[in-house]
Homo-oligomer: A and B are copies of this chain.
Amino acid sequence: MNWKGRRQILKILIKNIKIITMDDARPFIDCGIIVIEDGKIAEVMEAGHFSNNSDNRSDGQFDRIIDGNNKLALPGFINAHTHVGMVPFRNYANDLPLEEWLFNKLFPMEDKLTADDIYWASQLGIAEMLRTGTTCFADMYMFEDTLAGVAESTGIRADLARGLQCFDDDFDIKTDRRVLESVELFNQYHNAANGRIKIRFGPHAVYTCRPKYLIKTTELAGELGAGIHIHLSETVNENKNCISAYGKSPTRHLADLGVFDLPTIAAHGVHLSDEDISILSKHKVSIIHNPASNLKLGSGVMRAAKAIEGGINLGLGTDGASSNNTLDMMREVYLAAVLSKGVFEDSVGIKAYEALKMATVNGAQALGLEDAGQLKPGMKADITLIDLDKPHYCPLNDAISAVAYCGKGSDVHTVMVDGKILYEDGEYKTIDMEAVKTNVKRITERLFA
C-alpha cells in the first residue's frame, strides 16, 4: 500500500484484475488494468495492452497501485430504491399480516423518529451499502436533508427525495410542510458535493397522494427541474383500490395526471398489466425491481422478464431494511436472476448478466447518470472490488455467473466513489463505525423502550 498522506488521490492503477465492465461490447476482461484519474476512469484494458499515451507509464506515476490479483472489479451497485432511515427497524416485527406490520408496528415507530436518529441511521445504512458494494442509492423518506449531509460526508453518491403525501384536496402547495421541505432540499442539495447528490420529488404513491396533490407537486418539480420517485403497483390491493377510486390502474392514473412527463423512477411494479408496461415504456419510466422486499411482504413477484421485453428500463433496489431486512444489492441481483426462472418455470429467464445490468447500467440510466454503471473510459470511478479468494468462488468458471449466483455482499473488498476509496478490507475511510454502533444502540433502546 502506498497511500501518499491524506491528500486526494489523483491517479490510481488497479492491475492484474478480472473486470466485469458491463459494457456489452466487451463485458469481461480476464486479466486487465484500470487507470483512474481525477475521479474518472481513464482506461480499462487487457493487461499488456496499454494504449499509446500510456505506454510509458511506470508504477511511480500513480498515487496508489492496487494489486487486483484474485480480485474482480465491477461497477459499484446502484441501489435505486431504498429508505435508509429505516435501518433501526431492521428485524423488527416480522412474519406478520401486512396491515398489522404496517399500521400497528411500523407507523407508530416512525412517529418517534428524530433528525438525530436519521443522522446515525443514515451512517449505518450507508456503511452497510458500502460494505456490500453499493456506490449510489436513491432514497425516499423523511429528514432527507440530514441524509444528504451524511451522503456528502461519507462520499457515497445519492439521489434523494423527501416523501410526499396528502390525503386531502384542501391543501396549499405553497405552505405544505413536506413540499416546502422538498423545495428547500432541492435548493440546498441538488448537484451538491461535486454533483454526487441529486434531489427528486417523492410523491409517495397513488394511495397516499390525492390526484390534485400529484398534479401540483409534479408541476412544481417540473418548474425546478427535478425528477420523480414514486411507488407503483406494489400490491394487488393498491391496484384494486386505484381501479375502484379512479377507474384505472395506478400506471394509467399517473400517466393521465402527467406525473410520467417528468423523468420518473417507480419502485416495485409487482402487478403491472401488459398495458401498464406499454404505457411505462412509452413514457420512459424506469421501474425499480425490489425482489427481496416484495417477497418478504408477500406482495408477489414482478414479471421482470416481461417488463424488459416490453422495453422498460429495469433498475434494482433493496427497499428499506424494515422489509428486506438488509441492504445488500448482491442478494437482489441473485433474486432478480433466479426468481424469474423459478417462479415462471423458465430456466433461461433473466440471465446473470441481465440481473447485473439492473444493478449497474440500468440503475444509472434510471437515475439519469450518463457516466456511471459501466467500467470504461470517461465513466465515474465508482468501482467495487470483490475478493475471489473464497470457497464459493472456487472454481470460478464464469465470473458473471459466479457473482450473480454465488456472490454475497460480504465478498466486497474495496469500494470507491469518484475514485475515492470509501471502504477497504474491513475499514471505513469516512465513517466511525464504533460511534455509529454506540449511537444506534442508544436510539433503538429509546425507540423500543
- A: which residues have CB within 8 A of B? 87-92, 94-98, 101, 124, 127-128, 131-132, 236, 291-292, 294-301, 324-328, 338-339, 341-349, 351-352, 390-392, 394-399, 401-402, 405-406, 408-411, 433, 436-437, 440-441, 444, 448
CB distance B408 to A342 under 8 Å? no
Known: A394-B440, A395-B441, A410-B410. 10 other contacts (CB 8 A): A87-B395, A89-B397, A94-B352, A131-B390, A298-B347, A300-B343, A325-B402, A327-B392, A391-B433, A410-B411
Chain B residues, CB < 8 A from A339: 295
Number of copies: 2
Residue of B nearest to A94 (CB): B401
CB distance B97 to A348 under 8 Å? yes
CB distance B298 to A345 under 8 Å? yes
CB distance B391 to A342 under 8 Å? no
Q: Complex: how many Å from CA A390 to CA B129?
A: 12
CB distance B348 to A391 under 8 Å? no
CB distance A398 to B298 under 8 Å? no
List 30 A-B residue pairs with CB atoms under 8 Å apart, sorted by A's residue number. Answer: A90-B394, A90-B406, A91-B398, A91-B402, A98-B347, A131-B391, A291-B342, A292-B338, A295-B338, A295-B339, A295-B341, A296-B338, A296-B342, A296-B405, A297-B341, A297-B342, A298-B341, A298-B345, A298-B346, A298-B349, A299-B345, A324-B405, A325-B402, A328-B408, A390-B410, A391-B433, A392-B409, A397-B448, A408-B410, A410-B411
Report A102 CB to chain B, min CB distance, Å.
Answer: 10
Report A391 CB to chain B, min CB distance, Å.
Answer: 4
Q: Which listed residue, B89, B101, B398, B411, touches A347 by the CB 8 Å rule?
A: B101
